[in-house]
């Protein structure tokens, strides 16, 4: 129910801030779950498939044969994009201990 002040002007409540936090926490939770799945399905067999540029990655949407062939031979559960993310996180950060990053993000999104 809308609230009004003495001058019959509608008072805007701070529910929009709560709604933004809820949407942000759901998005963070989903991103964390996808990142977790990408990290646990990381294999070194995908090293040759991740040597793609951003322009070639857009070719995945256009169904280009070269990029589609790389995507088909990828062993990561999230495909070529998951292989790229997991390779970057594992090889450029703290290694296999980076599995704790999505766990922390999941906890943070719930709290």
d(Cα 8, Cα 19) in Å, to the nearest integer?
26
pLDDT digits (tens, 9 = 90+) for 9-68: 655 555 677 889 999 999 999 999 999 999 999 998 888 778 888 888 888 888 888 888
Q: pTM for the whole thing?
A: 0.76
d(Cα 27, Cα 35) in Å, to the nearest integer?
12
pLDDT at residue 78, as a whole number: 93
pLDDT at residue 42, as a whole number: 93
How sure is the predictor about 3, in pLDDT bands with cuts at 50, 70 and 90? low
Phi and psi for 24 in degrees, rounded to 5?
-65, -40
d(Cα 48, Cα 10) in Å, to the nearest integer?
60
pLDDT at residue 11, as a whole number: 55
pLDDT digits (tens, 9 = 90+) for 69-108: 888 889 999 988 899 899 999 999 888 899 999 999 999 9
3-state secondary structure of 2: coil
pLDDT at residue 86, as a whole number: 92
pLDDT at residue 49, as a whole number: 78
pLDDT at residue 102, as a whole number: 94
């Amino acid at each position: 129910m809308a609230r009004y002040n003495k001058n019959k002007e509608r008072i805007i409540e701070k529910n929009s801030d709560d709604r933004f936090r809820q949407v942000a926490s759901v998005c963070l939770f989903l991103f964390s779950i996808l990142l977790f799945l990408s990290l646990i399905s990381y294999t070194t067999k995908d090293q040759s498939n991740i040597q793609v540029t951003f322009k070639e990655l857009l070719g995945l949407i256009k169904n280009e044969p070269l990029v589609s062939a790389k995507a088909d031979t990828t062993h990561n559960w999230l495909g070529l994009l998951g292989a790229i993310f997991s390779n970057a996180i594992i090889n450029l950060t703290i290694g296999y201990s980076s599995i704790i990053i999505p766990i922390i993000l999941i906890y943070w999104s719930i709290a």
